[in-house]
Each structure stands twice: as C-alpha cells, then as structure tokens.
A and B are shown apart, each in its own frame.
Chain A
Amino acid sequence: LAKTTQPISMDSYEGQEVNITCSHNNIATNDYITWYQQFPSQGPRFIIQGYKTKVTNEVASLFIPADRKSSTLSLPRVSLSGTAVYYCLVGGMAAGNKLTFGGGTRVLVKP
C-alpha cells in the first residue's frame, strides 16, 4: 500500500498559485493519484485525478513525473475560499482496494 507524505501546512496569498507536492515512493503500477479538498465541518471533495504526466481541469492541474514517485497539485490564483486541507491519496480503483489518506496539507490563503 503506497504511503503518502505531504507538508503539514503552507501559507499563500490571494491571487497566487499554490503548489503542493506529495511523495509516494512505493506507488504500485495500478495506483492512481487523487487529490481532495476539505473545508471545516464538511467531507472531502474530489479535485483531480491522474495516472501519469499532466492532468488539468477547471480548478487545478496535477503534475506527475515519469517515475510517479511524487505528484504536485497546482491551484492557480487561489482565493480566500481556497483555505482548506488538501489530501493526496494513492490507490487502485479495483474492488477491494483499501483507500488510505495521508495527513493532508493545511493551506491558509491570506488577503
């Protein structure tokens, strides 16, 4: 089971780009990399998912190097509402796969 390591916290300013890197050295061939966002008193919410190279959607980009041992979530031009905890999750999508979250990164966006 791939264990993930993320920074505990980071600060940013409104309008800046935020990059959060997650390490997952023992990622398996079938594992995908998924990022979630969680606001206080709410369940986590899906942001983006990828397997390799770069994935972009309307809210974020995900960069995955060729060795897949790490990944970087990029949030362009964060707003104050981007203050949240961001979780990196690595796991397979087949039935019976255990999906375990790491400790998450608390991002504080300042005005």
Chain B
Amino acid sequence: DVKVTQSSRYLVKRTGEKVFLECVQDMDHENMFWYRQDPGLGLRLIYFSYDVKMKEKGDIPEGYSVSREKKERFSLILESASTNQTSMYLCASISTGTGYNEQFFGPGTRLTVL
C-alpha cells in the first residue's frame, strides 16, 4: 500500500542545473516536509508546508525552494545545483491535530551533483 512516493530513487545532475524532486502522498495529509540526510548529520529539515501554497523554512533552506500547488504534492527545487547538495533527500507527510500522529516517509532520492 503506497503512501509517500518520490519521483526518483537515484538522480545524477550537473552543477548549475535546475533540479526538481517530486513527492506525492495519498493520505490527504496537511503537512509535508523535505529533509536531507548526510552521513553523521542525521536528518535536517529543509522546508515544510502545512497547506496548499503555504511553506515555511526549515533549518537549512539556503539553495532550495519548494512548491505546493496541490495538497498531495510537494516539490523541492534546486535552482542551480551545486556539489554540496549531493545528498539523500527524504520527503514526509503527517496529519495534523492532537493525539497520535506519525510521519510517513518516502523511500528517498539519492541525488549526486557532478
């Protein structure tokens, strides 16, 4: 049962290219997140969105932008890819409200920028 999908598992791009990472969830969740994960640094929050067309910066937003035109889709954009953006990118979604809630993660996209 598919819950959070990401457009690619592996991606190789060149420095300066514009890169789009797509994430889709089928659980009607309000909140969606983009993280990057690097060895020894855990998961770092890039951007998140709590509604269509709404976005908030996370801890490391520099060099990234996001788009949320539909509730189920949250896109991460690298306007001009650089080698230091080589990383594993993880998308997640969660429902809002009180009580029990879990974040569902996609399988990740491993991006290499040459």
Contact = CB atoms under 8 A, between A and B. Distances in A.
Interface stretch (B11-19, B41-49, B77-85): B41-49
A95 B103 contact: no
Interface in B81-111: 90, 92, 94, 96-108
A81 interface: no
Nearest to A104: B42
Given A49-B102, A87-B43, A101-B43, A96 B97 contact: no
A103 B4 CA distance: 23
Interface string A23-47: 0000000001010100001111110
Give the contact-size bracket for chain B. 20 to 34
The DSSP consensus for interface residues of chain A is loop
A89 B102 CA distance: 11
A42 to B, nearest CB: 7
A93 B56 contact: no
B100 to A, nearest CB: 6
Given A43-B105, A94-B96, A104-B43, 14 more contacts: A43-B106, A43-B108, A44-B105, A45-B105, A46-B104, A49-B100, A87-B43, A93-B94, A93-B101, A94-B97, A96-B50, A98-B48, A99-B33, A103-B41
